[in-house]
């Protein structure tokens, strides 16, 4: 459709554009502005960035919040922990999701659509509830421990709840469908004749997989990794409910800063730095996505 832009067309673009600009972009600019402000008593609890003194407009940009955050080990540690948790859980998810997606892609079309449906159902059901389900399993007097004690594998309950292990279990569990679906979509769209050709030319099943199927599925793998890695960095619910005090992730830090400490300029600075960390994978993800033919 290559017709000249007309009024209706312009209005069509403007409605969602303006909505996103107001409710998505502007708030981010505000976070940036407040991170350059300083705290004060009152509502809103931060100093305005600019002031009129007669005809003189003075703008004060306060970098102290950033200096404070970067100099404070707790924040630095939280950023690094979040990156580490996101990287390890992405790898774990890939290890579980790839065989699952590959298995589904190898099924008949009829069972495929049913199996994909089964993968989607947990994704649609509440994340909070799914994390809660693990709470009763992982607790010291939870189902897993009482089962293991009963069988006699262990003599003392394992401490899983409130540890980093519990965070990994929770994150892998709640984000798994996001990894399975892009890989499956990629694998099921792949050309089967390529594998047949490789097999006909004497390639073993294993070799055909590693030399044909796997390299061709890397785009799906990349999409899956991006879809889980980026949000996991800022994850709040799982570390808050399953994790312990020793694993502080940045999403939880921000939450605590806002609700308990009420120092909004510092909390905004923490958020801005998180965004800076996120920008790299998001840009990579977007360029990759726009290259994908639809």
Partner 1 sequence: MPQPSWFNRLSIFAGLAFLYLPIVVLVVYSFNASRLVTVWGGFSTEWYAAAINNQSIVEGAKISFLVAATSATFATALGSLAAIVAVRIRRFRGHHIFNGMLVAPMVMPEVVMGVSMLLMFVTLGIDRGPVTITLAHATFTMCFAAVVMQSRLAELDPSLEEAARDLGCPPFLAFVKVAVPNMLPAFVSAWLLSFTLSLDDLVLSSFTTGPGASTLPMKIYSQIKFGVTPEVNAISTIILGVVVFGLVASRIVSRPSAKSTVAV
CB 182 within 8 A of CB 93: no
**Considering beta carbons, is residue 99 or 215 the nearer one to partner 1?**
99
Identify the residue among 75, 79, 175, 264 touching partner 1 (CB under 8 A).
264
Binding of partner 1 by 214 (CB under 8 A): no
Binding of partner 1 by 235 (CB under 8 A): yes
Binding of partner 1 by 261 (CB under 8 A): no
Binding of partner 1 by 124 (CB under 8 A): yes
Stretch that binds partner 1, among 49-57, 69-77, 139-147, 212-220 (CB under 8 A): 139-147
**Considering beta carbons, is residue 55 or 150 the nearer one to partner 1?**
150
Binding of partner 1 by 142 (CB under 8 A): yes
Binding of partner 1 by 215 (CB under 8 A): no
Binding of partner 1 by 151 (CB under 8 A): no
Identify the residue among 87, 88, 135, 216 touching partner 1 (CB under 8 A).
135
Token pair in block for residue 98 = 């790839």
Helix (H) or strand (E) holding 221: helix 218-233
Stretch that binds partner 1, among 57-65, 66-74, 211-219, 272-280 (CB under 8 A): 272-280
CB 246 within 8 A of CB 78: no
Binding of partner 1 by 222 (CB under 8 A): no
Binding of partner 1 by 210 (CB under 8 A): no
- Cα of first residue to Cα of last residue in the chain, in angstroms, is 17
**Considering beta carbons, is residue 66 or 264 the nearer one to partner 1?**
264
Min separation Cβ 55 and partner 1, Å: 25
Three-state secondary structure call for residue 229: helix
Residue whose C-alpha is closest to residue 239's, from 178, 176, 174, 171: 171
Binding of partner 1 by 133 (CB under 8 A): yes
Report DSSP state, residue 201: T
Q: What is the longest distance spanned by two Cα atoms in the chain?
A: 85
CB 98 within 8 A of CB 91: no
Report DSSP state, residue 106: T
CB 136 within 8 A of CB 160: no
Long-range contacts of 174-177 (CB under 8 A, 24+ apart): 174/127, 174/130, 174/131, 174/238, 175/89, 175/93, 175/228, 175/231, 175/232, 176/93, 176/96, 176/97, 176/122, 177/119, 177/120, 177/122, 177/123
Stretch that binds partner 1, among 59-67, 68-76, 100-108, 210-218 (CB under 8 A): 100-108
Token pair in block for residue 184 = 């499956």
Residues 18-57 that bind partner 1 (CB under 8 A): 19-21, 23-28, 30-31, 34, 43-44
HEC-encoded secondary structure of 231-245: HHHCCCHHHHHCCCC
Min separation Cβ 103 and partner 1, Å: 4
Stretch that binds partner 1, among 52-60, 69-77, 128-136, 212-220 (CB under 8 A): 128-136
**Considering beta carbons, is residue 146 or 204 the nearer one to partner 1?**
146
Binding of partner 1 by 103 (CB under 8 A): yes
Pairwise CA distance, residues 27 & 11, whole Å: 23
Identify the residue among 62, 83, 94, 102 touching partner 1 (CB under 8 A).
102
# residues contacting partner 1 (CB under 8 A) = 93
């Amino acid at each position: 459709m290559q017709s000249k832009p007309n009024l209706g067309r312009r209005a069509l673009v403007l409605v969602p554009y303006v909505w996103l600009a107001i409710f998505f972009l502007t708030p981010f600019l505000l976070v940036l502005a407040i991170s350059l402000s300083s705290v004060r008593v009152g509502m809103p609890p931060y100093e305005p960035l600019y002031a009129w003194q007669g005809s003189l407009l003075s703008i004060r940009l306060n970098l102290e919040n950033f200096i404070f955050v970067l100099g404070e080990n707790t924040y630095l540690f939280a950023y690094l922990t979040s990156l580490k948790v996101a990287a390890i859980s992405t790898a774990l998810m890939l290890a579980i999701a790839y065989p699952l997606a590959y298995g589904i892609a190898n099924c008949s079309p009829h069972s495929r659509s049913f199996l994909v449906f089964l993968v989607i159902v947990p994704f649609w059901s509440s994340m909070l509830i799914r994390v809660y389900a693990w709470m009763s399993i992982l607790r010291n007097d939870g189902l897993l421990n009482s089962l293991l004690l009963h069988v006699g594998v262990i003599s003392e309950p394992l401490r899983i709840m409130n540890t980093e292990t519990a965070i990994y279990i929770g994150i892998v569990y709640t984000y798994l469908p996001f990894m399975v679906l892009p890989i499956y979509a990629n694998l099921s769209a792949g050309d089967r004749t390529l594998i047949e050709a490789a097999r006909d030319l004497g390639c073993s099943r294993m070799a055909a997989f590693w030399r044909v199927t796997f390299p061709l599925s890397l785009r799906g793998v990349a999409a899956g990794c991006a879809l889980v890695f980026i949000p996991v960095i800022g994850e709040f619910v799982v570390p808050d409910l399953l994790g312990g005090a020793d694993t502080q992730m940045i999403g939880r830090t921000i939450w605590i800063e806002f609700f308990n400490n009420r120092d909004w300029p510092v909390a905004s600075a923490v958020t801005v730095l998180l965004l800076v960390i996120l920008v790299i994978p998001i840009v990579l993800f977007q360029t990759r996505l726009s290259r994908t033919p639809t």
